[in-house]
Amino acid sequence: MKRFHLKLKLQFESMPKTTELGSKKELKSMPFITYLSGLLTAQMLSDDQLISGVEIRCEEKGRCPSTCHLCRRPGKEQLSPTPVLLEINRVVPLYTLIQDNGTKEAFKSALMSFYWCSGKGDVIDDWCRCDLSAFDASGLPNCSPLPQPVLRLSPTVEPSSTVVSLEWVDVQPAIGTKVSDYILQHKKVDEYTDTDLYTGEFLSFADDLLSGLGTSCVAAGRSHGEIPEVSIYSVIFKCLEPDGLYKFTLYAVDTRGRHSELSTVTLRTACPLVDDNKAEEIADKIYNLYNGYTSGKEQQTAYNTLMEVSASMLFRVQHHYNSHYEKFGDFVWRSEDELGPRKAHLILRRLERVSNHCSNLLRSPYIQSRVDTVPYLFCRSEEVRPAGMVWYSILKDTRITCEEKMVSMPRNTYGESKGR
């Protein structure tokens, strides 16, 4: 159970008091310590009737008056108008400051209702019993808020050209609504796709991923943060397209079927892997085929070679060709001259698929390739969730078995000089 605490630090320079002047009231200022002394005189703060949970400590801001026995120190008893700092330095639940048991329980119940049930229901064990007025238009109780999950990139897995790992912290509170599932949507977004018509793919974390019924290209995991009671869910996508713009959307579903607000992450995968040495060899081969008289067979060989490589490799072939042989005519001009406008157009239009970001990187003087091996969690549910009963199952209570697996993540390294 979450408890409410109060910690106050107060510094008073003066307290107002009211004096009667004829029919008018005039506010005058008085030192707070004088006000405190008056309370002491009236036995409201006497030693045997101190308010439970409140400790008063005075610190000198000059000198304390002799009337404050809490601040009395040898040689420090001269009268002084200088204010005194008072602190409430003991942290306790608010309702423990109330002496009457009935009032204390009512105050505790009100605080719990306000914090966990939006003030529209009562806390019963670890859930909220909503008032009759706390139902939404669909007839579902909504006094207990369903928090919005925050989708983010996993800090331990750097995205590559085909692999992206996402994670979020479980939003199920200690008291109140119970999360049944998380729904994750992912889709590729580009200028050729109507984002309103193309909805992408929806994946249920419980029914598709933990159950193992989903694709092998997506794996689910569950771990714990710094606090053992906090669960962190993760999903790793292993078959994305390089240099693609993807939009990932997540929302939570509770046991009554309510949906939380959406959380979205949009990112572009890394540039496709290129073999720079092979790209340079192909550039040399194309130059030799274009050089001198080009027969029909040589034209077809050059055309087939350039059409078989990926768009990124073609971009890199063009870069190497122009770097070494531009003095004999650049790649575009020679291709149109040797292969004809139609075939050259079919080849060169593929370069448009390369994004501006990747085209800038592919112009780097040197590109090296490497393959990183990164661990990830692969979790499966130990139980079968009954069909049609998803809303009545609590995801956090699902028994799962996890194992650590490895995924290979090829990457390009771009630089001004060859690395060692």
The answer to whether the CB of 256 falls within 8 A of the CB of 141 is yes
- Write out the CATH class of domain 151-270+371-415: mainly beta
Cα 365 to Cα 266, 280, 355, 415, 417, distances in angstroms: 30, 12, 18, 7, 7
Q: What is the per-residue pLDDT for 2?
A: 37
Boundaries of every domain in the chain:
91-144, 151-270+371-415, 276-362
Percentage of residues of the chain with pLDDT beyond 90:
28
Which of 31-35, 112-116, 334-338 shows the lowest mean pLDDT across its residues?
Answer: 31-35
Average pLDDT in the 20-48 region? Answer: 56
Model pTM? 0.68
Q: What is the pLDDT of residues 145-187, one digit of tens each?
A: 899 999 999 988 889 999 999 999 999 998 999 999 999 999 8
Confidence of residue 328 (pLDDT cuts 50, 70, 90): confident
Would the pLDDT of 50 be above 80?
A: no
pLDDT digits (tens, 9 = 90+) for 241-286: 999 899 999 999 998 888 999 999 999 999 998 999 999 999 999 9
User: Sorting pLDDT into bands at 50, 70 and 90, what band is 10?
Assistant: very low
